[in-house]
Structure 1
Amino acid sequence: MLIERPEANAGTTGREREMKDIIIVGGGYVGLSVAVAVKKAAPHLEIELMEAAPEHVWQKDERASAIIAAAINMLKTLELWDDIKDDAQPINDMIVTDSKTGEPVKPVFLTFADRAATNEPFAYMIPNVSMVRALRQKADELGITIRHGAAVTAFENNGGHAKITLAGGEEIATRLVVACDGVRSRLRYMAGIKTVKFDYGQSGIVTTVAHERPHNGRAEEHFLPAGPFAILPLKGNRSSLVWTERTDDAKRLVESDDMVFEVELERRFGHHLGKLELAGGRRAFPLGLTLSRAFIAPRLALAGDAAHGIHPISGQGLNLGFKDVAALAETIVEADRMGLDIGAMDTLERYQSWRRFDTVRMGMTTDVLNRLFSNDIGPLRVARDFGLGVVDRMPGLKRYFIEEAAGRTMHDKPKLLAGEPL
């Protein structure tokens, strides 16, 4: 469909402002990345980002995220990596254990000690604050407007354009709305997009610890009866923890005093890195599976957690969002260059077909892994430990899993994930 650009104020009411090309709802990593990727390749497009949270909330985020090699390619291509790399800790190797809580020795069943084919780490641990800071600085350089405290209360498709309404009553017309407003996306609900949802009855406790001995860039995944306990290396003698527990137990642990929390932490962490000390706050997040039945609607595209929420057992949640960014940005930019309507359904269908299969596959994979390993059933434990041992003894299969984890086996890879500019 060829685009006919509307007049600046055509079809607007007194409360509407000038037509925008793209409105992005949600100012986290995914929303900012979409804005930066599109604006860098198509600087003439008018992009505005709506963030419901106050301006400086992101600076209080103590968490860190595992970012795979393919997503690092995108950060480098968008000229963000130089502002992030000094805070990034490469994951040089990984071990997987399967044991009971409190066991003094955790037998290792699987190791990923080799680097990926390019001799680069298959992932880096990056503080969330560092990543958001770099994205916001780049957005400012590119002239992208970020509006804080801008909660969207209504979405309407008017055929040739969409319209959003903000909490104060202001209405904004746009050719395309990109919803990056989280797993409980209001835009998704407003557009009538259904989801497949499952609550695991688990919560993920996230915190940071300091330890006496260096981790040497090693990540650890300990499968325990209540769920996986991941130790992820940060710069210095520090590690980020993603600790899965049943929801009631997680709530009790988060609300307990430091001594109780540290005792339970040490039972799971062990003593191999020496004395432990809490180095940050602790929070618990409910865990479940949420998959949108559609990633698009007329004049609307979902990206990141608005399209999918998965278990953190594989560390792929944010990386799925970055894959969305790369595919959606390429779809928008190529359509614009061909003179097509960037918000038309036939344009957006390419994005949906590009991302839906990979997302469903990853969602199902994490679901099966969580069900398989989050229990203490004897025969099942024997079977899964045998399977891990078999993989560990097959270099070719293990290499495939490393490449898969790094995002290098993705079919029809978007340009940004391959390190190519749009």
Structure 2
Amino acid sequence: MLDILVAGGGYTGLSVAVSIKKAAPHLNIMVVDGAPDGAWQKDGRASAIAAAASRLLDALGVWSEILPKAQPINSMVITDSRTADPVRPVFLTFDGNVADGEPFAHMVPNPAMVGPLIEMAKSLGVELRYSTTVDGFRSGPGSVNAHLSSGETLAARLLVACDGVKSKLREIAGIKTVNFDYGQSGIVTTVEHERPHGGVAEEHFLPAGPFAILPLPDNRSSLVWTERTHDADRLVASDDLVFEEELERRFGHKLGTLKVVSGRRAFPLGLTLARAFVAERFALAGDAAHGIHPISGQGLNLGFKDVAALAETIVDADRLGLDIGSLAVLERYQSWRRFDTFRMGVTTDVLNRLFSNDITPIRVARDFGLGLVERMPTLKSFFIRQAAGVSSEGNPKLLQGVLP
């Protein structure tokens, strides 16, 4: 019988397996993923890794492999304007360091993160199975029986669902969600530009939604471009000339000529919060537990917080000789993560509603607020430490760079 079966082999699922196996090598852990082996190498996206998450990855022994391919964010600039405005005044700037030599975040191409996690999992003895999904499960007194797409049935003490925001396993477990559709989509692509970005991230608040420019190595930037869903679909389907013209209107010309160097895709944006994170012998982590607006860049980092809390919960219970799949043990994980997730969901929801409009009184009020924060260094420092994930007391050990 397995100790832990993880459904989903992305960075969240792999991090769950590696963090627990590294701290408790005797536990028997398997990860199954529906994608073919090697499909992760074709992922052209990049993710913002907050300082706390990079500490976690360092504790797992993979950050040294990731860092050479990462781009530190040295500073962040926030503007608020209309798309056609010739000048975009800067209302707020953030210095990028939370400590000497430690940026508050790095931009990392997704394959550069997943690859080292896979190699670490293999070296620790975690079994990885690809082209395989958990199609159903039933929890019993001593184990959960998971039915795989291969036709096999596996018994485990705990099933961890990391199968995305539309989690099939969450539905099978009977866990309800709070859902809201923003009527927006996020266009994700990568561009190459003539001049260096200097490690500066920019977020332009435009009436349709935020337009984020996130620096990557080699004079490239990752874009998260929010538009009303019908406009996003039209832009993604348009020819290259139309797409690049609309892109330049929002990106500007200060970095020179732009060239789109990756495919462009649009993802519908909404708020999804699981009403519970656990059931008997079952736990949700990552996007399966929460899907939030990318306005704050915290979606992935919320997943790493789940990883750290779940790993510490399971490892501590195992050391005490407790049943790692029991609801009594898993309640600790739920209480650790549910309020923080709800708070972040509400925060991103409010920010999106506040900034994704062109109502003059609201625009004046929000610009006054941004200008006020710009003039208060202590408050700016508080916000940057919050974004970096290093300010919360009671953080799980992994977010402090220490194995549980």
Task: Answer yes or no: same fold by TM over 0.5.
Answer: yes
- Structure 1 residue 146 and structure 2 residue 109: aligned? no
Between stretches 340-349 and 112-121, larger displacement belongs to: 112-121
- Secondary structure in 1 aligned to 2:368? helix
Could you tell me whether the CA contact under 8 Å between 2:79 and 2:92 is conserved in 1? yes
* CA distance in 2 between partners of 1:257 and 1:271 (Å): 21
Name the counterpart of 1:266. 248
Cα deviation 1:361-381 (Å, max 9, x = unaligned): 000000000000001111110
* CA distance in 1 between partners of 2:261 and 2:340 (Å): 36
Give the total of aligned pairs: 404
Cα deviation 1:32-60 (Å, max 9, x = unaligned): 00000001111110001110111121111
- Secondary structure in 2 aligned to 1:336? helix
- Structure 1 residue 276 and structure 2 residue 258: aligned? yes
Name the counterpart of 1:360. 342
- Structure 1 residue 82 and structure 2 residue 84: aligned? no
* CA distance in 1 between partners of 2:377 and 2:96 (Å): 10
Name the counterpart of 2:397. 415
Name the counterpart of 1:167. 149
After TM superposition, the runs of 4+ consecutive aligned structure 1 residues lying more than 3 A away are: none
- Secondary structure in 2 aligned to 1:168? coil
Which of residues 213, 224, 239 is equivalent to 1:242? Answer: 224
Name the counterpart of 2:190. 208
Between stretches 83-92 and 161-170, larger displacement belongs to: 161-170
- Structure 1 residue 181 and structure 2 residue 163: aligned? yes
Could you tell me whether the CA contact under 8 Å between 2:91 and 2:374 is conserved in 1? yes
- Secondary structure in 2 aligned to 1:290? strand
Which of residues 285, 299, 318 is equivalent to 1:336? Answer: 318
User: Offset of 1:166 from its aligned partner?
Assistant: 1.1
Cα deviation 1:107-156 (Å, max 9, x = unaligned): 10000025224441100000000000010010111111111111211110
Q: Normalization by structure 1: what TM-score?
A: 0.95
Structure 1 segment 400-411 matched on structure 2, within 5 A = 400-411=382-393
- Structure 1 residue 371 and structure 2 residue 353: aligned? yes
* CA distance in 2 between partners of 1:113 and 1:326 (Å): 27
Which of residues 27, 38, 41 is equivalent to 1:45? Answer: 27
> Gaps spanning 5+ residues in structure 1: where?
1-18
Could you tell me whether the CA contact under 8 Å between 2:96 and 2:104 is conserved in 1? no
- Structure 1 residue 232 and structure 2 residue 221: aligned? no
* CA distance in 2 between partners of 1:81 and 1:153 (Å): 33
* Amino acid across the alignment from 2:269: L
* CA distance in 2 between partners of 1:411 and 1:309 (Å): 24
Cα deviation 1:275-315 (Å, max 9, x = unaligned): 11111111110100000000000000100000000000000
* CA distance in 1 between partners of 2:305 and 2:100 (Å): 20
* Amino acid across the alignment from 2:157: R
Name the counterpart of 2:303. 321
Aligned-residue identity in percent: 68
Which of residues 140, 159, 163 is equivalent to 1:158? Answer: 140
Could you tell me whether the CA contact under 8 Å between 2:14 and 2:121 is conserved in 1? yes
Which of residues 62, 69, 80 is equivalent to 1:98? Answer: 80
Name the counterpart of 2:329. 347
Name the counterpart of 1:116. 98
Q: Normalization by structure 2: what TM-score?
A: 0.99
Could you tell me whether the CA contact under 8 Å between 2:177 and 2:273 is conserved in 1? yes
* CA distance in 2 between partners of 1:117 and 1:391 (Å): 20
Cα deviation 1:140-176 (Å, max 9, x = unaligned): 1111111111121111011211111012321111000
Cα deviation 1:183-215 (Å, max 9, x = unaligned): 000110000000000000000000000011100
